[in-house]
Amino acid sequence: MNALKRHGPFLASLFGGLALWEIVGRNTSAAFMAPLSTTIVRLIELADAGQLWPEVASSLSLFITGFVLSVIVGLPLGLLFARMRVLREALDLYIMILYATPMVALIPFILSLMGFGFAPKVLVVFLFAVFPILYNTVEGARSIKPELIEVARSYRSSEWALWREVMLPYTLPYTMTGVRQAIGRALVGMVAAEFFLSASGLGGLIMNASQSFDTAGVFGATLIVGLLGVGLTKVGSVLEQRFARWRG
């Protein structure tokens, strides 16, 4: 009873929305909108024909490669900026500018320079994701109390220990905020790369379905990307919450 009370509104909203989708879909032309049932049937068809999972895998490998790369670059670079004040002051304005630049507008350049392979797509995902991580890491590292570093110093802590014991724990909560934002942006980058570079993965599946007027296919693949987005965003929020406790 308690569980029903707690989750009732959520479930009602969920099923209400899905029912609305079904009803509207059934009462409009099939070219305009596919009802939920048709969409799911179409997804099962695609999966049976072996057309769905390889695309999901392709999209995920693109997402993960670009995202991991952006953490590998963004986190250490952010910490380095925090440690070397001159570097930070010199570059923070330019990071802000890049952060504010609509990355999607750079895709045509990447296309004509790097062509259609996997690498340009990874670059797109990386560019979308790296700046939130870098920016938030720098912000976090900037908020480290100077006394902490001074105390560590007076106890003759080595540079490595200083990074590991003071800077990293202090900065990670902020980095995780960046990671959460970066997950959302990397997903956008993934779809953008698959739409505007060469059609591949789930984005490609959507494009192909749309070009062959397969509305149910468009809805199905879009639904999968949407679910992926909701799931990954959830992972990001959980990570952020988990590390938020460290905030001093």
Residue count at the site for other proteins (CB under 8 A)? Answer: 52
Task: Pick one of 51, 143, 157, 233: the residue that binds other proteins (CB under 8 A).
Answer: 233
| Distance in Å, CB of 115 to other proteins, minimum | 13
Is 243 within 8 Å of 170 (Cβ atoms)?
A: no
**Residue 91 Cβ vs other proteins, minimum distance, rounded to whole Å:** 6
Site string for other proteins, 17-46 (x = CB under 8 A): x-------------xx--------------
Residues 169-188 that bind other proteins (CB under 8 A): 181, 184, 187-188
Taking 3-state DSSP, the helix, strand and coil percentages for the chain, each rounded to the nearest 5, stand at 85, 0, 15
Contact present, 133 and 175 (Cβ < 8 Å): yes
Site for other proteins in 64-123 (CB under 8 A): 86, 89-94, 96-97, 100-102, 104-109, 111-113
Closest by alpha carbon to 55, among 183, 188, 205, 197?
205
- Nearest to other proteins of 49, 100 (CB atom): 100
Q: 219-246 burial string, b = 16+ CB within 10 Å, else e?
A: bbbbebbeebbeebeeebeebbeebeee
The DSSP annotation for 57-97 comes to HHHHHHHHHHHHHHHHHHHHHHHHHHH-HHHHHHHHHHHHH
* Residue with smaller CB distance to other proteins, 32 or 160: 32
In angstroms, the CA 37 to CA 213 distance is 18
**What are the two backbone dihedrals, phi and then psi, of residue 32, each rounded to the nearest 5 degrees?**
-90, -45
| Smallest separation, CB 33 to other proteins (Å) | 9
Stretch that binds other proteins, among 56-64, 73-81, 166-174, 190-198 (CB under 8 A): 190-198
Instruction: By CB under 8 A, name the binding residues for other proteins.
Output: 9-10, 12-14, 16-17, 31-32, 86, 89-94, 96-97, 100-102, 104-109, 111-113, 181, 184, 187-188, 191-192, 195-196, 206-207, 209-210, 213, 215, 218-219, 222, 225-226, 229-230, 233
